[in-house]
């Protein structure tokens, strides 16, 4: 069944990526992590709220002993980044000496990820990497050395598969772009 345009608040969104395209990207990221962390027990640090679908699907594909922790930060209002990262729910686990992999739904400017990397690096993990489902390379303003990227996409505002527009749209299994 072909995807159709959706309406969220005052905006229209057109189909962009299907659930099967997303699944393929998630499986590729998981395969790379499974290979790179063989014999290790990583701690995944999921960035809420947007990453919840990516995290759930990715961890189903991880074939390693692992743990999951959650952190919540905010940097968006509406369709634009505020440039300021606010920590809403902090990490409770002791991460010193652990292999950490941050799980993020999307990296665009990189402000949020840069702040998270600095915050977590200060806690002295054994290693620290990032796995993001989406990367917007033309927006990126920081050198982050992202090791695991599902899909590089243009600088368009997207919703679905965990990503929202002022709270709406996270529930769609496909991804839509603003028109």
Cross-strand pairs, 148: 131
**N-term to C-term CA, the chain:** 21
Phi, psi of 12, deg, nearest 5: -105, 145
- Separation between Cα atoms, residue 85 and residue 155, nearest integer Å: 20
Among candidate residues 108, 164, 166, 174, the one labeled active-site is 108
Q: Mark whether 36 is an active-site residue.
A: no
Are 101 and 69 within 8 A, CB to CB?
no
Q: Which residues are catalytic?
A: 108
């Amino acid at each position: 069944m072909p995807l159709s345009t959706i309406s969220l608040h005052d905006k229209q969104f057109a189909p962009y990526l299907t659930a099967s395209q997303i699944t393929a990207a998630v499986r590729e990221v998981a395969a790379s992590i499974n290979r790179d962390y063989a014999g290790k027990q990583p701690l995944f640090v999921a960035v809420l709220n947007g990453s919840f679908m990516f995290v759930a699907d990715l961890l189903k594909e991880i074939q390693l002993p692992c743990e999951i922790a959650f952190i919540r930060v905010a940097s968006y209002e509406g369709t634009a980044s505020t440039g300021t990262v606010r920590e809403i729910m902090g990490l409770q686990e002791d991460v010193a000496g652990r292999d950490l992999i941050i799980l993020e739904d999307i990296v665009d400017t990189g402000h949020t990820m840069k702040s998270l990397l600095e915050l977590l690096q200060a806690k002295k993990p054994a290693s620290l990497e990032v796995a993001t489902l989406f990367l917007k390379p033309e927006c990126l303003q920081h050198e982050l050395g992202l090791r695991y990227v599902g899909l590089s996409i243009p600088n368009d505002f997207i919703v679905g598969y965990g990503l929202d527009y002022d709270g709406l749209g996270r529930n769609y299994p496909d991804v839509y772009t603003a028109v």
